[in-house]
């Protein structure tokens, strides 16, 4: 028997006094280990807590219901060539909170969770020469990633201010038509757009039925040069962290390209906008892409789609807060496997002691 995982509606772009990014416990089913156990698409395979009784016989399933607030992490592991590593086990990972080791309570492979995607398209005057580039990128991404029976996406543009152009839909034709109609003009309110998108993702429609887990994703196509937001960069990062949304950025900036070899253009320097795009991705567990041209976009967006279904789920019970105010706690996830890179969000906001 499984219980539903109910995602809390979180307000974003607020001061640190808000509730922490802890998700309520959910029912998880433990499965006996096998030599080569395959991930179950759309479901989380889990290992029992350390104090759980001896596991049942193979093929038998025992429901385990957690009633304790846990920190939920979506983790991506890649090798030096950016190949996704999907065969790791619970024992291959170590989780640190503020430098202190944590006991991994639940572990699984998130291979098929329904996606809730915010597609943010920069339509400011600064990217006018590259707007067609953005449109091609956005359309290409949608057609490669969205599954009509499981996923939903909405389109938001931002220039002087962010605006939702197309609400949640699984119809890529409708989304593509909305994208094609956009024109460039005005300033760039990137931070405000991420704050608004994060809030909207916090209230995303959940799948019907007992399994209501979803994966929240923000895809930003921009040059990263904000000049008009009311919100600061830190506000935007905080907002995405609180909503548990990973940010994947696709840069439209080609100023940094070196063309020593026309077949293999390379990056020689990141400007301020590039660094902003990189920071959004690094802090939220996403990834920053710097494609050379629209011809290179297919691989970049295919990587995003593949990554979203090649990840691990890790949950642990955090230590109780001892302060009366919301507190940011740093998270590090490591693996003993050599030559691998582990990516996840960098931290969360713990609830004040009075709220626990």
Predicted local distance difference test score (pLDDT) of residue 263: 63
249-287 tens-digit pLDDT: 988 886 656 666 656 666 556 789 999 999 999 999 999
Q: Considering the domain boundaries, does residue 131 fall inside one?
A: yes
Residue 318: domain span:
27-110+310-355
How many C-beta atoms lie closer than 10 Å to residue 296's C-beta? 14
117-176 tens-digit pLDDT: 999 999 999 888 888 878 888 888 888 889 999 999 999 999 999 999 999 999 999 999
Residues 301 and 317 in one domain: no
DSSP state of 260: S
Q: Considering the domain boundaries, does residue 251 fall inside one?
A: yes
By CB neighbour count within 10 A (0-12 exposed, 13-18 middle, 19+ buried), where does 282 fall?
middle
Q: Considering the domain boundaries, does residue 4 fall inside one?
A: no
Residues 95 and 122 in one domain: no
- Residue range 225-252: mean pLDDT, rounded: 94
Q: Considering the domain boundaries, does residue 350 fall inside one?
A: yes
Is pLDDT above 90 for 303?
no
- Residue range 27-37: mean pLDDT, rounded: 36
Range from 55-59, 185-189, 213-217, 315-319 that averages highest in pLDDT:
185-189
Higher pLDDT, 350 or 81: 81
Residues 129 and 247 in one domain: yes
Cβ burial 76-107 (10 Å sphere, 16+ → b, else e): bbbeeeeeebeebeeebbebebeeeebebbbb
Separation CA 64–CA 46 (nearest Å)? 10
CATH code (residue 128): 3.40.50.410
Q: Considering the domain boundaries, does residue 9 fall inside one?
A: no
Q: Considering the domain boundaries, does residue 18 fall inside one?
A: no
How many domains does the chain fold into? 2
């Amino acid at each position: 028997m499984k219980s539903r995982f109910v995602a809390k509606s979180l307000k974003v772009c607020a001061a640190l006094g808000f509730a922490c990014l802890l998700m309520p416990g959910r029912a998880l089913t433990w499965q006996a280990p096998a030599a080569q156990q395959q991930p179950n698409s759309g479901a989380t395979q889990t290992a029992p807590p350390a104090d759980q009784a001896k596991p049942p016989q193979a093929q038998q399933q025992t429901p385990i219901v957690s009633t304790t607030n846990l920190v939920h992490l979506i983790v991506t592991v890649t090798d030096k060539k950016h190949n996704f590593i999907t065969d790791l086990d619970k024992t291959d990972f170590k989780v640190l909170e503020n430098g202190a080791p944590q006991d991994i309570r639940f572990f699984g492979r998130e291979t098929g969770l329904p996606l809730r995607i915010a597609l943010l398209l920069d339509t400011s005057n600064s990217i006018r020469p590259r707007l067609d580039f953005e449109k091609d990128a956005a359309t290409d991404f949608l057609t490669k990633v969205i599954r009509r029976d499981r996923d939903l996406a909405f389109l938001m543009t931002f220039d002087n201010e962010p605006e939702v152009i197309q609400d949640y839909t699984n119809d890529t034709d409708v989304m593509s038509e909305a994208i094609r109609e956009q024109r460039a003009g005005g300033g760039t309110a990137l931070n405000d757009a991420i704050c608004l998108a994060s809030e909207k993702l916090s209230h995303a429609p959940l799948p019907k039925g007992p399994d209501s887990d979803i994966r929240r994703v923000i895809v930003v196509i921009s040059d990263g040069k904000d000049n008009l937001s009311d919100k600061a960069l830190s506000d935007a990062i905080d907002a995405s962290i609180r909503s548990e949304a990973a940010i994947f950025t696709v840069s439209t900036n080609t100023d940094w390209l070196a063309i020593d070899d026309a077949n293999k253009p390379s990056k020689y320097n990141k400007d301020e906008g590039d660094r902003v795009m990189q920071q959004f991705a690094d802090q939220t567990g996403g990834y920053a892409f710097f494609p050379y041209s629209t011809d290179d976009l297919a691989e970049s967006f295919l990587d995003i789609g593949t990554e979203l279904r090649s990840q691990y789920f890790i949950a642990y019970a955090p230590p109780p807060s001892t302060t009366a105010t919301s507190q940011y706690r740093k998270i590090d996830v490591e693996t003993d496997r050599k030559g691998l890179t582990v990516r996840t969000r960098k931290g969360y906001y713990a609830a004040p002691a009075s709220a626990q």
